[in-house]
Amino acid sequence: MKKLFFVTALLAVVFTSCVNEDFDQPDVIIPEYAGTSNTTIADLKATYPGILDSIETSTIIEGIVVANDESGNFYKTLIIQDATGGIELKLDRYDMYTSFKVGQRVFIECQGLFLGDYGGLVQIGYIYNSAIGRIPDILIDKHVFRDSLPGAAPAATLVTIPTLSPANLSTLIQLDNVHFADAGLPFSETSGTTNRNLEDETGNIILVRTSNYASFAADLIPNGKGTVRGILSIYNGDYQLYLRDLNDITNWVDPTAGSIIYEPFNADPGWTIFSAASNKDWYYNASYNDMAVTASGADVACDDYLISPAISLAGVTNPLFSFMSWTNYTDGGLSNPLEVMISTNYTGTGDPSLATWTTLSATLPAANSATYTSSGDISLAAYSGQTVYIAFRYRSSGTASGSYSAWKIDEFTVAQ
């Protein structure tokens, strides 16, 4: 027994001394593609004849992944981009983001694959029911190759909604000074992929399309404005923007944070509208989500009021008021067709001329500019602790061309 105990103890010592607690780090395998590209993405797309087309020549493109399937908003899809443009790769494989991260360089050996389009968006894929479909999983590794470790993705191209063009399709773009007309709603309804409206300061709109399987589908669309990035797509002539995730919304300013009142006019606010003269009134402009007025077609020269609800400034030491305004056409007979006023004794209904109003100093757009302009921050500190009404008084010198202007008001905010 003593001998057996001794042997067991000796073996324990030997095995213990052989354990090396310093584990070797596994080698980092850096993928490397031996070939080179022989055409650009733009040149490849230019060969598309408008119907499903097989790629029969030895064609190799390269690009950087700018979007993948990580968030669920791109299903079995990679978007790659080079200096000339971008293109969608339709691939019948799940969780590609684990290998094809944003910033990953890839080469595509296109011979044996197909060019096609869905709703006008050119894609690389495979034939399926006589149309463009996904490259079968078994073929992906024979055509799609990674090269090097992921690096920086291409910077988003700064564009505006009116200047979007086919050259921007399947590329990462950036829109500044935009806001969601559907603030407060989820990005997508649970029933299916959902379109929401993204709007610039002059009312131009692009659809933001979100899958109900996206990781951010149930998140609420933010109030305010800022920068939105995404991949530009198109369907039957309508441009669509796909967010990769919520990090594509940046530089965002939410006026509802600390606001006393914020009215983006996404619906008719039911404000007081009073016409002292003419048959033309302020009205809710559902086409552009703002309040508008014009004397065009009026029976007489206009004198029209748009008046906010009561705004309590109790306990607020330095309230700031701001809004956006837009004008078109020039009223040759008036130097101040729009006046911004404040009252502490208006009753909330009826004739505003029975109350006392003080004109506020606000920055307004130049006549006939047709461009939304910020009023700047207007201090209401003199009215701290009181209840106030704010009115926009529109007047025209007549009804004929050259004697009236058109105005719109948006993004009405009083904040602490």
pLDDT in tens, 168-224: 999 999 999 999 999 889 999 999 999 999 999 888 999 999 999 999 999 999 988
- Does residue 122 surpass a pLDDT of 80? yes
Q: Are residues 128 and 45 in the same domain?
A: yes
Q: Are residues 230 and 270 in the same domain?
A: no
| Gap between the Cα atoms of 236 and 337, Å rounded | 42
Mean pLDDT along residues 261-279: 94
Reported as a single tens digit per residue, the pLDDT across 59-105 is 999 999 999 999 999 999 999 999 999 999 999 999 999 999 999 99
Count of structural domains within the chain: 3
| Gap between the Cα atoms of 41 and 154, Å rounded | 15
Q: Which of 253, 288, 320 is the last residue of a domain?
A: 253
The whole-angstrom distance between residue 63's C-alpha and the CA centroid of its chain comes to 24
Q: Are residues 248 and 349 in the same domain?
A: no
14 in any annotated domain: no
Q: Which of 102, 127, 147 is the last residue of a domain?
A: 147
| pLDDT of 15 | 42
2 in any annotated domain: no
| pLDDT of 172 | 98
18 in any annotated domain: no
Q: Are residues 266 and 375 in the same domain?
A: yes
- Residue in the block written with tokens 């797309």: 45
13 in any annotated domain: no
Average pLDDT of the chain, as a whole number? 93
| pLDDT of 16 | 46
| Gap between the Cα atoms of 78 and 63, Å rounded | 11
Q: Are residues 214 and 296 in the same domain?
A: no
Q: Which of 147, 174, 204 is the last residue of a domain?
A: 147
Strand partners, 274: 305
Instruction: Please classify residue 83 by burial: count the beta carbons closer than 10 Å to its beta carbon, then call 0-12 exposed, 13-18 middle and 19+ buried.
Output: exposed
Q: Are residues 171 and 131 in the same domain?
A: no
Secondary structure letter of residue 53 according to DSSP: E
Residue 359: give its domain's CATH number. 2.60.120.200
| Gap between the Cα atoms of 414 and 316, Å rounded | 11
222 in any annotated domain: yes
| pLDDT of 148 | 96
Q: Are residues 141 and 162 in the same domain?
A: no
Nearest to 214 by CA among 334, 77, 324: 77
Reported as a single tens digit per residue, the pLDDT across 323-376 is 999 999 999 999 899 999 999 999 999 999 999 999 999 999 999 999 999 999
Reported as a single tens digit per residue, the pLDDT across 397-416 is 999 988 999 999 999 999 98
> Do residues 365 and 372 lie in contact, with contact meaning Cβ atoms separated by under 8 Å?
yes
| pLDDT of 274 | 97
Q: Are residues 201 and 271 in the same domain?
A: no
| pLDDT of 4 | 42
Distances (CA, A) of 400 to 57, 143, 395, 406: 66, 67, 14, 13
Mean pLDDT along residues 25-54: 93
CA dihedral 139, 140, 145, 149 (to 10 degrees): -150
Q: Are residues 212 and 293 in the same domain?
A: no
Nearest to 144 by CA among 98, 103, 102, 89: 89
Q: Are residues 244 and 356 in the same domain?
A: no
> Do residues 289 and 181 lie in contact, with contact meaning Cβ atoms separated by under 8 Å?
yes
Q: Are residues 341 and 245 in the same domain?
A: no
400 in any annotated domain: yes
Q: How confident is the model at residue 22 (pLDDT cuts 50, 70, 90)?
A: low
- CB neighbours of residue 56 within 10 Å: 10
Domain range for 241 is 157-253
Q: Are residues 342 and 360 in the same domain?
A: yes
Residue 112: give its domain's CATH number. 2.40.50
Q: To the nearest whole percent, how much of the chain has pLDDT over 90?
A: 86
Distances (CA, A) of 295 to 24, 251, 277, 298: 80, 38, 11, 5
